[in-house]
Structure 1
Amino acid sequence: MAKKKSLFQEFTKGILVENPVLRLVLGTCPTLAVSTSVESALGMGVAASIVLVCSNIAIAALKKVIPQKVRIPAYIVIIASFVTIVQMLVKAFVPQIDAQLGVYLPLIVVNCIILGRAEAFACKNSVAASAVDGLGMGVGFTAALLLMGAVRELLGTGAIAGLQIIPASVSPMLIFILPPGGFFVFGLLMACANKLADKKGLSKAELKGCEACPMAASCSLRGEVENKDKKDKKEADDK
């Protein structure tokens, strides 16, 4: 039987060991789209983290009353409720962030990080553990966004959050605030994260089988994937 992780381990795993962006490669679309500046990256990270923690708590608390067959639609309704609240607060108090994030703020509803944690963790664990898991994954997501935002904004504009870092006499590399620069920085940070994890002797981060896929319940390939996983495990045991 696998040893149960402490709450501290549940929190820290999302920062590096299972960082949703740099190790599990989840939430790539909003990551590349909003990481053109530190301000927008922080806004998206905080908003997604709040939704992640709140939805994890709600789903963990309601897991016994949500019917198995309709759990995915139920999760989406819960997540959408929190996203609506967060979006209203952002529009009211920081409208400039709402303008920068645009459509990506309401699209948090279908963010695969949030749906994935609901299906893979929150529906199987206690409220406390689910809250800590959501917080850890949220911090990891925010940290990855901030790293990308800082690098892209610095190299693309010469400044970070309005503070000029690179002398104005040096021409900024505008490609870094464009999509190609986003992919370049994303790949570089992924390589650094994996190298750091290897040096620390951390196990390879991966999503096993269909357990973390929010659409697994209705996927026609689920049986094939699970059979392949069992076959691979049997071959590994035989060796």
Structure 2
Amino acid sequence: MDLQAYKDIAWNGVWKQNTGVVQILGLCPILAISTNIVNAVSLGLATIVVMAMSNLVIAALRNFIPYEIRIPVFILIIAALVTVVDLAFNAYLHELYLVLGIFIPLIVTNCIVLARVEAFAAKNEPGGSTVDGIAMGIGLTLVLAVLGAMREVVGSGTLLSGIDMIFPGMQPIVLFGDDYPGFLVAILPPGAFIALGCLIAGRNWIEARKLARAHAAALAAKAAEA
């Protein structure tokens, strides 16, 4: 693959086929863990590592995996990598590990990971597959980060709540003062659905404006030729 092909793969994962706001996959972790930006980004980074490594390993072994048993083999590889990430969180970020709870092991069953392995890594070379896994993971992490920030700011009036679990001594940013009553709906499941809907609508609006500009430019070019 040339450099342009890698750029196209990266742009596809981050924007064109973003798993959170385009494919609408993996809603359970997206909605459940995005109550603040620290939890959201932490789970997103764990997913990036798993997606990148699983895509790399499966792309490298794709010619040796019998087609009939590919799905069980894919799941075993993903499960092994998730176990490594899970144990690393437990060892080095134990407080955060307790907060994220079951959602790190559940990466094994996340349809985003298995979908990219089946759709891309099993059919392409390791380099492009690794870039695809990283890009898809970054796209998911960006959605989680924005969603977590929106819900945390509106729901509790802070930003980076829980950052001390990663960097001891650091304190969250208090945006509206200690007397801010909070907006409970934002940190409950209905708030998650509303915030995600706003992100999807925003992305669709940007794409619609882009298409409208392209159409206007094409009409102007035809008028100039005439």
- 71-80 or 90-99, larger mean C-alpha shift: 90-99
Equivalent position of 2:133 in the other structure:
134
Tell me, in whole angstroms, the C-alpha distance in 1 between the residues paired with 2:24 and 2:76: 25
The unaligned stretches of length 5 or more in structure 1 are 203-239
Structure 2 residue aligned with 1:197, among 202, 207, 210? Answer: 207
Q: Max radius of gyration: which structure?
A: 2
Tell me, in whole angstroms, the C-alpha distance in 1 between the residues paired with 2:211 and 2:95: 42
Tell me, in whole angstroms, the C-alpha distance in 2 between the residues paired with 1:49 and 1:110: 15
Q: Which amino acid is the alignment partner of residue 69 of structure 1?
A: E
1:186-208 CA deviation, whole Å, 9 max, x = no partner?
11111111111222239xxxxxx
Tell me, in whole angstroms, the C-alpha distance in 1 between the residues paired with 2:114 and 2:145: 22
Equivalent position of 1:32 in the other structure:
31
Equivalent position of 2:66 in the other structure:
67
Whether contact under 8 Å (2:156, 2:180) holds in the other structure is: no
Q: Structure 2-normalised TM-score?
A: 0.85
Structure 1 residue aligned with 2:176, among 166, 182, 188? Answer: 166
Deviation at 1:5, TM superposition (A): 6.3
1:107-157 CA deviation, whole Å, 9 max, x = no partner?
000100000000100001110000000111010000000000000000010
1:44 and 2:43 aligned: yes
SS at match of 1:60: helix
Q: Which amino acid is the alignment partner of residue 198 of structure 2?
A: L
Equivalent position of 1:229 in the other structure:
none
Q: Structure 1-normalised TM-score?
A: 0.81
Which aligned pairs between 1:179-198 and structure 2 lie closer than 5 A? 179-198=189-208
Deviation at 1:96, TM superposition (A): 1.8
Q: Which amino acid is the alignment partner of residue 159 of structure 1?
A: T
Whether contact under 8 Å (2:58, 2:74) holds in the other structure is: yes
Tell me, in whole angstroms, the C-alpha distance in 2 between the residues paired with 1:92 and 1:125: 34
Deviation at 1:88, TM superposition (A): 0.5
Q: Which amino acid is the alignment partner of residue 83 of structure 1?
A: V
Q: Which amino acid is the alignment partner of residue 123 of structure 1?
A: A
Q: Higher helix share goes to which structure?
A: 2
Whether contact under 8 Å (1:7, 1:129) holds in the other structure is: yes
Equivalent position of 1:93 in the other structure:
92
Deviation at 1:16, TM superposition (A): 1.3
Deviation at 1:176, TM superposition (A): 0.6
Deviation at 1:166, TM superposition (A): 1.8
Whether contact under 8 Å (1:39, 1:97) holds in the other structure is: no
Tell me, in whole angstroms, the C-alpha distance in 2 between the residues paired with 1:74 and 1:200: 42
Tell me, in whole angstroms, the C-alpha distance in 2 between the residues paired with 1:142 and 1:166: 26
Q: Which amino acid is the alignment partner of residue 58 of structure 1?
A: V
SS at match of 2:63: coil
Q: Which amino acid is the alignment partner of residue 49 of structure 1?
A: I
SS at match of 1:16: helix
SS at match of 2:21: coil
Tell me, in whole angstroms, the C-alpha distance in 2 between the residues paired with 1:60 and 1:200: 35
1:84-108 CA deviation, whole Å, 9 max, x = no partner?
0000001111112211111111000
SS at match of 2:90: helix
1:22 and 2:21 aligned: yes
Tell me, in whole angstroms, the C-alpha distance in 2 between the residues paired with 1:119 and 1:201: 31
Tell me, in whole angstroms, the C-alpha distance in 1 between the residues paired with 2:123 and 2:41: 30
The runs of at least 4 aligned residues of structure 1 exceeding 4 Å deviation read: none
Tell me, in whole angstroms, the C-alpha distance in 2 between the residues paired with 1:99 and 1:52: 22
